[in-house]
Every structure is written in structure tokens, then in C-alpha cells.
Amino acid sequence: MASVSLQTKTFPKKPVPPGAWDTHHHIFEPHRFPYAKGRHFTPAPATLEDLQAFESAIGVDHVCIAHGLSYGPDCSSLLYYLGLFGGEARGICVLDLESVTDELLDEYHAAGVRSVRLDFNRHKAMDNVDVQAQLIDATSKRLAEWGSHRWSIQIQQPHLEFWSHLREVVHRSSVPIVVDHFALVAGSSYRANDHSTNIQNESYLSEAERVGLETLCETLRNGKLWMKLSAPYRCSNLAPEYNDLRWITRRFVQCNPRRMVWGSDWPHTQRHKDRAGRSTTSVEPFLKIDTRAWIESLSRWMSDDEWHLMWVDNPALLYDYQYLQKQA
């Protein structure tokens, strides 16, 4: 498959618009909610007050809290924090499908939960597409049995070549599938493990990856798949602008601007590859990320309409928030 060059037009810098959402972040308060045994890492504390100060500083009005995987499937902390927002926040839970009841799903929905986060690490599925498919299928089936209520399923996996198989899983799902962190498409600097390479097309990807990327883009165009433009440091070494992600951002946005949402990934936990050999119980410091510089860079890669959709309209639709209807 021949590489495709994208137009690299630069748009004017834009502010974060009123009504903006941060659709991916965490709260870690182990003094209040102890971490689960068997977790794959131990994050440092990141309090609710810290989160609120961060969102205020960048101009975000609405939050969607992603349940931290270090808590396992016990979502007590998520329900607690959602309660403090008085119905104005949304949440992404983790489920134990073997024990979840309709009553628990009803409780989660009433609290503001609208999505299920799949823990591929726990199920040893990160590098196994068959297990990934099984987990998505089983979760979709369980939500369909319950009634789904405009929920979604959120995944994070690093293999572009898997999308040739996952496309069919997405198509048969009863609910939308949301993909974290640019689908973990590695920018050229990340792939080369340096801080200079800035290739603006997919030429550095393998043939299998290029086929997988085209399949991923096709699935985005069809509307059942959503993309989080989040955590660029998981895909690029070119902080704080991450310019080698410009081409893939434009590719995704051009595929379907109505399926893009933004997430900070605050408080910026370590990258998976940097945890190799570390104790899972040693407290892990957070990365230092210049979020304002990243937002400014991203704003120059998107038109005004695309920018507003990503920050405001799309997340309100995805997470079933009646903000738009209230303002009509």
C-alpha cells in the first residue's frame, strides 16, 4: 500500500471553548480508597482538588472520570467522586462481568456512568486480539441484556494490525467503541526512539500496520468507533508540541470529525514501556506534561468547526449529557 501524504495546513491558534469536556482523567486518593491487590502499577496521589485546579487552569467545564485500573473493578471511588459533582460529571467504570447485576448497572447509570473501560492488562489481552475480541463481545452482550442506556465501551491497545479483526467486533457491538490515546499509533519519533524524527505520513509504518490503519479509518468513517485525542506523550517524544502526530490527527479528523473527543490523561501516569522491571507496588511519580502547549499545538491542526465538535458537541453526545438540549 502506497503512503498517503496529507495536507499540512496550519489553522489559527484557538482557545478552549466554553462548555469544553475533558473525557479522560483519573483521581487517585489511596488514603481514602486503597488500591487493589494485584494491580499493575501504584500511582502517586492525585486528589480531586488537584484535578479541579488543573481543569480550571486549561478552561474545561465538564469532566468524565475514568476509573483508575489500580482500583480494579471496585468502583466505589468513582461513585464517590461522581456524587460530589451533583450529576454534572460523567464516569467510565470497570466491570467484573461474572458478578455484575442489573441493579449495579442501574446504580452506575444514575450516578453518571456512561462507559465501560476494559482492562486488557488484567486479562493478558494487550497483545492478543482474540482475547480482546472476546472481552468486547462479552461486555457488549451484557450491556445489551441490561438495556445499554447509551453507554459505550472504551479500549486501549497498541497493535494497528489488529484492526483488520477488530473492525468486525466494532460493527457487531450493541454500543459504540471508544479508542484511547490516538489508538496508540506511534509517531515517527516514538518509533525511532529519538527526539527529532518528524515524518508527516505513514511511510515509517510496516505494511501490516498501514493496512490496519486504513481499516481503523474506515471504521471511524462508519460512525460506530470514537477516537480520543489524548495522551500524546504515549505516542510521541516531541514534547510539548508533538508535531509528529499532526499527520495522524488530520487523518482521524478528516475521517470523521464527529467522532473525535479530547482527553488530558491527567495526572499523566508513566508509559507502559517505562514500567518494565519495576515493582508494581512501588509508588510511581507522574510525568510532567505541558498541557497548555499541547492544546495550542493541537488547535493549529484543526478548523474552528472541528475544534468545537471535539471539545463540546461530540463528548456531550457520547456521554449522554443533556447540555445541548438545556441550552436550546
The pLDDT-based confidence of 1 (bands split at 50, 70, 90) is very low
What interhelical angle do 76-84 and 102-111 show, nearest 10?
A: 30
Nearest to 262 by CA among 300, 232, 220: 232
pLDDT tens-place string over residues 308-319: 999 999 999 999
Residue 2 predicted with pLDDT over 60: no
pLDDT the model gives residue 273: 82
pLDDT the model gives residue 325: 44
C-alpha cell at 42: 501504584
Phi, psi of 221, deg, nearest 5: -60, -35
Residue with cell 463528548: 315
pLDDT tens-place string over residues 122-169: 899 999 999 999 999 999 999 999 997 799 999 999 999 999 999 999
Over the range 118-137, which residues count as b (16 or more CB within 10 Å of their CB) and which as e? bbbebeebbebbeebbebbe
- Asked if residues 161 and 209 have their Cβ atoms less than 8 Å apart, the reply is yes
- Sequence spans of domains, the chain: 21-326
Q: For all residues of the chain together, what is the average pLDDT?
A: 94
pLDDT tens-place string over residues 42-86: 999 999 999 999 999 999 999 999 999 999 999 999 999 999 998
Q: What is the distance between the alpha carbons of residues 73 and 69, in angstroms, rounded to a whole number?
A: 8
Amino acid at position 64, single letter? C
C-alpha cell at 250: 488530520
Over the range 272-292, which residues count as b (16 or more CB within 10 Å of their CB) and which as e? eeeeeeeeeeeebeebebebe
Strands 62-66 and 21-25 come out as parallel
Length of the chain: 328
pLDDT tens-place string over residues 17-49: 999 999 999 999 999 999 999 899 999 999 999
Residue 5 predicted with pLDDT over 70: no
Classify residue 309 by its DSSP letter. I
Q: What is the pTM of this model?
A: 0.94
pLDDT the model gives residue 7: 52
In words, the CATH class of domain 21-326 is alpha beta
